[in-house]
Amino acid sequence: MKIGMLFAMRSEFSAMPGAGDFPLLETVADIPVYEVGPDILACIGGVSKVNAAMATQILCMKYGVDLVLNAGVAGCLTDLPLNALVIASDLVQHDVDTSAAGDPPGLVSTVNRISFPVWEPELCVELLAREGFAATLGRVATSDSFLAQGERIDYIWNTFHPVLAEMEGCAAAQVCLRNGVKFVALKSVSDHMSAEEYANFGAALDAVGRAALALAKALQAYPA
């Protein structure tokens, strides 16, 4: 299985053990692509949905990956502790809203769905456990906004019931769905919708960097 790892920020990529030694393969549309290991690539796509979608399409079409692993930090809407690892059970885009036209909130046109799938999330939790990492399953909600506590958080929770909120995952999942490519998302809790907590998210970076590399290698070795 050929794996394409998708990070939004360089700090997330650099949190992988040995990242400084990964050779730069090339830069495509200002997106650096690195060779992590045999049949494992990693790119730094940039923050937000358009950047994530663009990088994911490059991984799918130019490099022909079989699976995209999106890894990074995320805000938490529940009581999970800081630095906790979460494998997405599914993903939604909470800022998509054509309800004025009669659609339910979160419905993404063209593909006509609210929930976007993840490949074998329970297996991913098991593979992480074998590598010594504890992770839970939960829905991840994506938007183009950095969220803080307030009425918007209440709306997102009451409408979609996600565990985490971030800015890339569901866009990547949508691209993978349309390309027929497997998709997995691994996130670590950087904050509880608090900019003050987010300012000190080094431990969350370390947690997701170590776990993402271990998961990528385990997925690459897993029988297709």
Domain 3-221 has CATH 3.40.50.1580: yes
Q: Is the pLDDT of residue 38 over 70?
A: yes
Confidence of residue 149 (pLDDT cuts 50, 70, 90): low
Note the pLDDT of residue 200.
Answer: 83
Residue 6 parent element (H or E): strand 3-7
- Measured CA to CA, the distance from residue 87 to residue 125 in angstroms comes to 7
Strand partners, 142: 93, 166
Model pLDDT for residues 96-132, shown as the tens digit of each residue: 999 999 999 999 999 999 999 999 999 999 999 999 9
Note the pLDDT of residue 51.
Answer: 98
Sign, CA dihedral 207-209-212-214, equals: negative
Note the pLDDT of residue 224.
Answer: 63
Note the pLDDT of residue 190.
Answer: 95
Note the pLDDT of residue 160.
Answer: 97
Note the pLDDT of residue 145.
Answer: 87
Q: Is the pLDDT of residue 80 over 70?
A: yes
Among residues 87, 55, 73, which one has the least CA distance to residue 176? 55
